[in-house]
Amino acid sequence: MSASMLNREMMRDRFFRAAAGVTAAAVVVLVATMVGAVRVQGVEAAPPSVSIPDSALRFPAATPAADLAAAVAHDVFADDRQAPAKRYRLPGEAVAVARQPAARPVVLGTAISLNGESFGTAQLPGGQSTIVRVGSKVGEFVVVSIERGRVAFRAADGERFSVDASKPVP
């Protein structure tokens, strides 16, 4: 078998051709990388440094002195210690605005079923009446339980309350 015959047979194999193509691409990438590494580009001058006047270095920064002795004198775990009347806020922190409590829903009626499919009709003041089941929401309130003539709700802050259907709407 001659060398030219071996090469013809090898070139017919598609895996060999793919390997030869990948090898050729790797050689091209290697040459391009070597040329880029050897080529020297012009380097620009660095920007001039910033000068600080001597007067800025002579005086210490104006910071309020911490009274460490007073801080150490107060026992952090004392029984008579209380939280301050006004919450400490960081500079620039917005003051919390007291939120008005949401209007509680009005229960118009309930329907009780033995198989657990009980439902009620409730509405927010000025809103449309809706059919509610355990777990559904009315505004920001979640229905916790439904009993005869009464629906129990849970507010967003965790407060639980119940509303009777027999009471007139104020």
Residues in contact with 112: Cβ distance below 8 Å, sequence separation at least 6, in sequence order: 118, 146, 147, 148
Judged by phi (left if over 0) then psi (alpha if -120 to 50, else beta), residue 79 lies in: alpha
- Domain residues for the domain of 157 are 106-164
82 part of a folded domain: no
User: What is the total count of domains within the chain?
Assistant: 2
Per-residue pLDDT in tens (0 to 9) along the chain, 170 residues: 455 555 777 777 888 888 889 999 999 999 999 988 888 777 788 777 777 777 777 776 666 677 778 777 777 788 887 877 887 788 788 777 777 778 889 999 999 888 878 999 999 888 888 999 999 999 889 999 999 889 999 998 888 999 888 766 55
16 part of a folded domain: yes
134 part of a folded domain: yes
Instruction: Name 141's bridge partners.
Output: 138
Extended strands (E) in 48-89: none
* pTM for the predicted model, two decimal places: 0.42
- For the CA atoms of 74, 78, 82, 84, the dihedral, rounded to the nearest 10 degrees, stands at 20
48 part of a folded domain: no
45 part of a folded domain: no
Distance CA 120, CA 136 (A): 11
27 part of a folded domain: yes
